[in-house]
Structure 1
Amino acid sequence: MNRNDGPPIIWVRARVESVAGGSAGQPGSVGLAGGRSVSARRAIVVATDAPAARGLLGDALEASPSKTEPGVGTCNLYFRAPAAPREENILYLNGESGGLVNNACFPSTVAPSYAPPGQALVSVSTIGTQPDMSDEQLAEAVKGELAAWFGADQTATWQLLRIYRIPFAQPNQAPPTNFVRPVKLSEGLYVCGDHRDSATLDGAIKSGRRAAEAVLSGSAALPVGQQPVAVQA
């Protein structure tokens, strides 16, 4: 956060519980856990996923809402392997019409430090969180499916390290959808994230750039040292 009376301040582990947009030329404010309120001198930027943005912004997001349909979930599985089945730096995609696995890769072929010497790290993402399967069942099903990709002799040697179940990995972008949603909600209030552009890393970065440019374009006439306050939720 920029301020007038000293160097910028960055607060970490400060949970944001509410955002109030400004009105009639008055700045908005951000409410933190514990009851503290921080006033914005010029702008507030809410940079969160779609559910968190809806929770913080409420009616302010209704003029240009993100899609409200349930998000896309996934499981990330990590295995230890004696070696990668191939040395190419490839993201393997599921080209079939069904199955659990969405994609698989071997990060240690790109960054050898991701695995101990003489071993390889396997990363697999599924379609959906598979709530009806235990971790053991899911791991065996995934290995069985990937045996058709890489060979049963390969997957039989993989040892499960950890599974992460992520209910909201991406916002829903089933058609129809809008890949360029406004980032400016009102005077001094902005929002960005993959729910404002495409549901990709690139989309998240692009929306952040659009929000930053919108904030700066509204403060271009301000002297150096009096640029807008930007609070990241």
Structure 2
Amino acid sequence: VYFLTPFPEMVKTVVSESILGRAEKKELVQFHTKNLFDFTDPPHHRIDDYPFGGGAGMILKPEPVFRAFDAVMGELPENSDTRVVFPTPDGKVFDHDAAINLSKCQNLIFINGHYKGVDQRIRDELVTDEISIGDYVMTGGELPSLVILDAVVRLIPGVLNSYESAETDSFAGALLDCPHYTRPETYRKLDSPSVLLSGNHKEIANWKKKKSEEKTQIRRPDLWEKYNKL
């Protein structure tokens, strides 16, 4: 996984911790960054410029991104399966199916935009997947890229201690996930559901399904409608 970014430390801080960090230590994934400022022209080393035609904001220049991309491609095996992701509010909304699809890819390159936007030639020539994580705007592409990355990497077999955990998450099926409880059985006079302690696997499965259906119907009527059509 490569990140083309003017702020590589933002990425390194996150991917070195928790499950992402352990995944790299297990050699299930490798993380690399390319600092866009390393691919700029002297003497000013600018990565942004004013938009043609006027307008507010600055635009990420094509040269640093194309050069960084070429450097990455020079490090990858020829004809390897590579997807180039550009997080953007006007992209296709990210979901679990998209995460599954990307998790099967051999190489991922994240192009992280900043300022008002990026030169359209970057999107036209380099990007394979324009992805939105929601209907809102952030100051840069690093955090959306990391959101996408986390959802993708956890689906790689061996990353989670129990792959079944990923298979039973919300959106892995047609329903949202059910509530979960753990020890202690009672905390501050709040009891765990007795059925979960019964040892009756059929009743537990029925309870979980019922709770998933109730949650989906209330919180995501769009998913509930699809579920009833199955």
Structure 2 length-normalised TM: 0.24
If asked which structure has higher relative contact order (CA below 8 Å, sep 6+), I would say 1
Structure 1 length-normalised TM: 0.24
